[in-house]
Chains A and B, each alone.
Chain A
Amino acid sequence: GAGVSQSPRYKVAKRGQDVALRCDPISGHVSLFWYQQALGQGPEFLTYFQNEAQLDKSGLPSDRFFAERPEGSVSTLKIQRTQQEDSAVYLCASSLGYSNQPQHFGDGTRLSIL
Protein backbone atom coordinates (compact mmCIF):
# COMPACT_ATOMS: atom_id res chain seq x y z
CA GLY A 1 0.00 0.00 0.00
CA ALA A 2 1.00 3.64 -0.30
CA GLY A 3 3.18 5.17 2.36
CA VAL A 4 3.25 8.72 3.65
CA SER A 5 3.45 11.14 0.75
CA GLN A 6 4.88 14.64 1.00
CA SER A 7 4.94 17.43 -1.52
CA PRO A 8 6.78 19.22 -2.86
CA ARG A 9 9.98 17.22 -2.48
CA TYR A 10 12.03 20.37 -2.82
CA LYS A 11 11.08 23.97 -2.21
CA VAL A 12 13.20 27.05 -2.70
CA ALA A 13 11.88 30.35 -1.43
CA LYS A 14 13.22 33.80 -0.87
CA ARG A 15 13.48 35.10 2.65
CA GLY A 16 10.21 36.67 3.69
CA GLN A 17 7.99 34.51 1.48
CA ASP A 18 5.33 32.20 2.83
CA VAL A 19 5.50 28.46 2.08
CA ALA A 20 3.06 25.58 2.46
CA LEU A 21 4.12 21.95 2.75
CA ARG A 22 1.69 19.10 2.27
CA CYS A 23 1.46 15.68 3.88
CA ASP A 24 -0.77 12.77 2.84
CA PRO A 25 -0.66 10.19 5.65
CA ILE A 26 -1.19 6.48 5.29
CA SER A 27 -4.89 5.80 4.82
CA GLY A 28 -6.60 5.09 8.12
CA HIS A 29 -3.84 6.51 10.26
CA VAL A 30 -5.30 8.61 13.03
CA SER A 31 -2.14 10.27 14.28
CA LEU A 32 -0.01 12.65 12.23
CA PHE A 33 3.27 14.28 13.20
CA TRP A 34 5.54 16.95 11.76
CA TYR A 35 9.28 17.00 12.40
CA GLN A 36 12.10 19.29 11.34
CA GLN A 37 15.47 17.78 10.47
CA ALA A 38 18.57 19.94 10.17
CA LEU A 39 21.54 18.65 8.20
CA GLY A 40 23.42 15.98 10.11
CA GLN A 41 20.91 15.94 12.96
CA GLY A 42 18.06 13.77 14.06
CA PRO A 43 14.48 14.88 13.44
CA GLU A 44 12.97 17.25 15.99
CA PHE A 45 9.31 17.14 16.90
CA LEU A 46 7.16 20.08 15.82
CA THR A 47 3.51 19.19 16.24
CA TYR A 48 1.02 16.33 16.54
CA PHE A 49 -2.57 15.73 15.39
CA GLN A 50 -5.05 13.11 16.39
CA ASN A 51 -7.63 13.18 13.63
CA GLU A 52 -8.30 16.90 13.08
CA ALA A 53 -7.34 17.95 16.61
CA GLN A 54 -3.93 19.47 17.14
CA LEU A 55 -3.03 18.01 20.50
CA ASP A 56 0.51 19.27 20.82
CA LYS A 57 2.28 22.14 19.09
CA SER A 58 4.99 22.60 21.67
CA GLY A 59 7.77 22.01 19.14
CA LEU A 60 6.81 24.77 16.72
CA PRO A 61 9.74 27.19 16.86
CA SER A 62 7.75 30.39 16.47
CA ASP A 63 4.33 31.79 15.68
CA ARG A 64 5.39 31.91 12.05
CA PHE A 65 4.81 28.16 11.93
CA PHE A 66 1.27 26.93 11.59
CA ALA A 67 -0.11 23.46 10.92
CA GLU A 68 -3.59 22.23 10.16
CA ARG A 69 -5.44 19.02 9.38
CA PRO A 70 -9.01 20.19 8.86
CA GLU A 71 -10.60 16.90 7.79
CA GLY A 72 -8.40 14.57 9.77
CA SER A 73 -6.46 13.33 6.77
CA VAL A 74 -4.19 15.60 4.72
CA SER A 75 -2.12 18.07 6.70
CA THR A 76 -0.41 21.30 5.73
CA LEU A 77 2.52 22.94 7.48
CA LYS A 78 2.72 26.63 6.71
CA ILE A 79 5.67 28.87 7.42
CA GLN A 80 5.11 32.59 7.14
CA ARG A 81 7.78 35.21 6.49
CA THR A 82 10.43 32.55 6.03
CA GLN A 83 13.92 33.09 7.38
CA GLN A 84 17.21 31.41 6.49
CA GLU A 85 17.21 29.38 9.70
CA ASP A 86 13.99 27.70 8.50
CA SER A 87 16.04 25.83 5.89
CA ALA A 88 15.75 22.15 6.75
CA VAL A 89 14.00 18.94 5.77
CA TYR A 90 10.43 18.82 7.03
CA LEU A 91 9.25 15.29 7.71
CA CYS A 92 5.74 14.06 8.20
CA ALA A 93 4.89 10.80 9.94
CA SER A 94 1.66 8.96 10.65
CA SER A 95 0.62 6.13 12.89
CA LEU A 96 -2.48 4.13 13.68
CA GLY A 97 -2.89 6.12 16.85
CA TYR A 98 -3.11 3.20 19.24
CA SER A 99 -0.66 2.97 22.07
CA ASN A 100 2.87 1.99 21.09
CA GLN A 101 2.39 1.99 17.35
CA PRO A 102 5.37 3.00 15.23
CA GLN A 103 5.39 6.22 13.27
CA HIS A 104 5.96 5.83 9.55
CA PHE A 105 7.71 8.67 7.80
CA GLY A 106 7.50 10.24 4.39
CA ASP A 107 10.61 11.28 2.47
CA GLY A 108 10.23 14.89 3.52
CA THR A 109 10.30 18.29 1.88
CA ARG A 110 13.71 19.89 1.62
CA LEU A 111 13.18 23.61 2.16
CA SER A 112 15.88 26.07 1.20
CA ILE A 113 15.49 29.74 2.04
CA LEU A 114 17.67 32.11 0.04
Chain B
Amino acid sequence: GESVGLHLPTLSVQEGDNSIINCAYSNSASDYFIWYKQESGKGPQFIIDIRSNMDKRQGQRVTVLLNKTVKHLSLQIAATQPGDSAVYFCAERSREGGGADGLTFGKGTHLIIQP
Protein backbone atom coordinates (compact mmCIF):
# COMPACT_ATOMS: atom_id res chain seq x y z
CA GLY B 1 0.00 0.00 0.00
CA GLU B 2 0.99 3.62 -0.23
CA SER B 3 2.89 5.06 2.69
CA VAL B 4 4.44 8.21 4.05
CA GLY B 5 8.17 8.66 3.57
CA LEU B 6 10.81 11.09 4.79
CA HIS B 7 13.57 12.73 2.76
CA LEU B 8 16.32 12.78 5.40
CA PRO B 9 16.92 10.13 8.02
CA THR B 10 19.21 12.37 10.14
CA LEU B 11 19.25 16.12 10.59
CA SER B 12 21.86 17.93 12.68
CA VAL B 13 21.32 21.58 13.63
CA GLN B 14 22.94 24.05 15.98
CA GLU B 15 21.14 24.93 19.17
CA GLY B 16 19.12 28.07 18.63
CA ASP B 17 18.80 27.57 14.89
CA ASN B 18 15.58 26.72 13.13
CA SER B 19 15.09 23.21 11.78
CA ILE B 20 12.92 21.89 9.00
CA ILE B 21 11.92 18.25 8.73
CA ASN B 22 10.38 17.14 5.47
CA CYS B 23 7.97 14.40 4.57
CA ALA B 24 6.55 13.18 1.27
CA TYR B 25 3.31 11.29 1.07
CA SER B 26 1.88 9.42 -1.85
CA ASN B 27 -1.75 8.79 -0.94
CA SER B 28 -3.80 11.63 -2.40
CA ALA B 29 -6.80 10.40 -0.40
CA SER B 30 -5.14 11.25 2.91
CA ASP B 31 -7.11 13.93 4.71
CA TYR B 32 -5.35 14.33 8.04
CA PHE B 33 -1.68 14.55 8.97
CA ILE B 34 0.12 14.51 12.28
CA TRP B 35 3.68 15.09 13.43
CA TYR B 36 4.96 13.07 16.36
CA LYS B 37 8.15 13.29 18.40
CA GLN B 38 9.58 10.10 19.85
CA GLU B 39 12.31 9.96 22.44
CA SER B 40 14.22 6.81 23.20
CA GLY B 41 12.16 4.33 25.19
CA LYS B 42 8.99 6.37 24.96
CA GLY B 43 5.91 6.40 22.82
CA PRO B 44 5.27 8.95 20.07
CA GLN B 45 4.29 12.32 21.48
CA PHE B 46 1.79 14.46 19.59
CA ILE B 47 3.26 17.73 18.32
CA ILE B 48 0.85 19.23 15.82
CA ASP B 49 -1.73 18.16 13.28
CA ILE B 50 -3.22 19.59 10.11
CA ARG B 51 -6.26 18.80 8.02
CA SER B 52 -6.10 18.54 4.26
CA ASN B 53 -8.22 21.67 3.83
CA MET B 54 -5.45 23.75 5.40
CA ASP B 55 -1.95 24.59 4.18
CA LYS B 56 -0.40 25.93 7.35
CA ARG B 57 -0.85 25.59 11.06
CA GLN B 58 1.20 27.04 13.89
CA GLY B 59 1.79 25.91 17.42
CA GLN B 60 4.25 26.85 20.08
CA ARG B 61 7.64 27.07 18.29
CA VAL B 62 6.36 24.69 15.60
CA THR B 63 4.74 25.20 12.23
CA VAL B 64 3.41 22.55 9.89
CA LEU B 65 3.10 23.24 6.18
CA LEU B 66 1.07 21.11 3.81
CA ASN B 67 1.49 21.28 0.04
CA LYS B 68 -1.11 19.03 -1.52
CA THR B 69 0.01 19.82 -5.05
CA VAL B 70 3.32 18.06 -4.54
CA LYS B 71 2.16 15.90 -1.62
CA HIS B 72 4.66 17.36 0.79
CA LEU B 73 4.52 18.00 4.50
CA SER B 74 7.07 19.82 6.62
CA LEU B 75 7.63 20.56 10.28
CA GLN B 76 9.48 23.71 11.22
CA ILE B 77 10.89 24.03 14.71
CA ALA B 78 12.00 27.51 15.73
CA ALA B 79 14.98 28.17 18.01
CA THR B 80 15.81 24.53 18.60
CA GLN B 81 16.69 23.42 22.10
CA PRO B 82 18.54 20.35 23.37
CA GLY B 83 15.20 18.87 24.39
CA ASP B 84 14.14 18.84 20.75
CA SER B 85 16.57 16.01 20.03
CA ALA B 86 14.43 13.01 19.09
CA VAL B 87 13.07 11.07 16.15
CA TYR B 88 10.26 12.86 14.34
CA PHE B 89 7.59 11.00 12.43
CA CYS B 90 4.97 12.28 10.09
CA ALA B 91 1.81 10.23 9.86
CA GLU B 92 -1.18 10.32 7.57
CA ARG B 93 -4.69 9.02 7.70
CA SER B 94 -6.75 8.02 4.73
CA ARG B 95 -10.40 7.10 4.89
CA GLU B 96 -10.37 5.96 1.31
CA GLY B 97 -12.97 3.28 0.84
CA GLY B 98 -14.39 3.97 4.28
CA GLY B 99 -11.28 2.59 5.89
CA ALA B 100 -10.14 2.83 9.45
CA ASP B 101 -8.66 5.70 11.36
CA GLY B 102 -5.32 3.93 11.66
CA LEU B 103 -2.34 6.08 10.85
CA THR B 104 0.39 5.32 8.33
CA PHE B 105 3.81 6.41 9.60
CA GLY B 106 7.02 7.17 7.81
CA LYS B 107 10.40 5.84 8.90
CA GLY B 108 11.32 8.93 10.90
CA THR B 109 13.97 11.63 10.96
CA HIS B 110 16.50 11.74 13.76
CA LEU B 111 16.98 15.36 14.80
CA ILE B 112 20.27 16.04 16.57
CA ILE B 113 20.83 19.38 18.29
CA GLN B 114 24.47 20.42 18.44
CA PRO B 115 25.47 22.61 21.43
Q: Nearest CB to that of B4 among chain A residues?
A: A42
Q: Is the CB of B43 within 8 A of A41?
A: no
| Candidates B4, B43, B104; contact of A105 at CB < 8 Å | B43
Complex contacts, A107 vs chain B, CB 8 Å: 41-43
Number of interface residues of B (CB under 8 A): 25
Q: Within the assembled complex, what's the spacing in Å between the Cα atoms of A48 and B89?
A: 20
Q: Nearest CB to that of B45 among chain A residues?
A: A105
Interface string of A1-44 (1 = CB under 8 A from B): 00010000000000000000000000000010101000011111
Within 8 A of A (CB), among B2-58: 4, 31-32, 34, 36, 41-46, 49, 51
Interface range on chain A: under 10, 10 to 19, 20 to 34, or 35 or more?
20 to 34
Within 8 A of B (CB), among A19-77: 31, 33, 35, 40-45, 47-48, 55-56, 58-59
Q: Does A83 contact B (CB under 8 A)?
A: no
Q: Is the CB of B46 within 8 A of A102?
A: yes
Q: Is the CB of A91 within 8 A of B106?
A: no
Q: Within the assembled complex, what's the spacing in Å between the Cα atoms of A55 and B46?
A: 24
Interface string of B86-104 (1 = CB under 8 A from A): 0001010000000111111
If A42-B89, A43-B44, A91-B44 touch, whether A103 touches B103 (CB-CB below 8 Å) is yes
Q: Is the CB of A48 within 8 A of B102?
A: yes
Q: Does A78 contact B (CB under 8 A)?
A: no
| Candidates A47, A58, A100, A108; contact of B51 at CB < 8 Å | A100
A-B contact pairs, 29 of them (CB 8 A): A4-B43, A33-B102, A35-B102, A41-B107, A42-B4, A42-B106, A42-B107, A42-B108, A43-B44, A45-B100, A48-B100, A55-B100, A56-B100, A59-B102, A91-B43, A95-B101, A100-B31, A100-B32, A102-B49, A103-B34, A103-B101, A103-B103, A104-B46, A105-B43, A105-B44, A105-B45, A106-B43, A107-B41, A108-B43
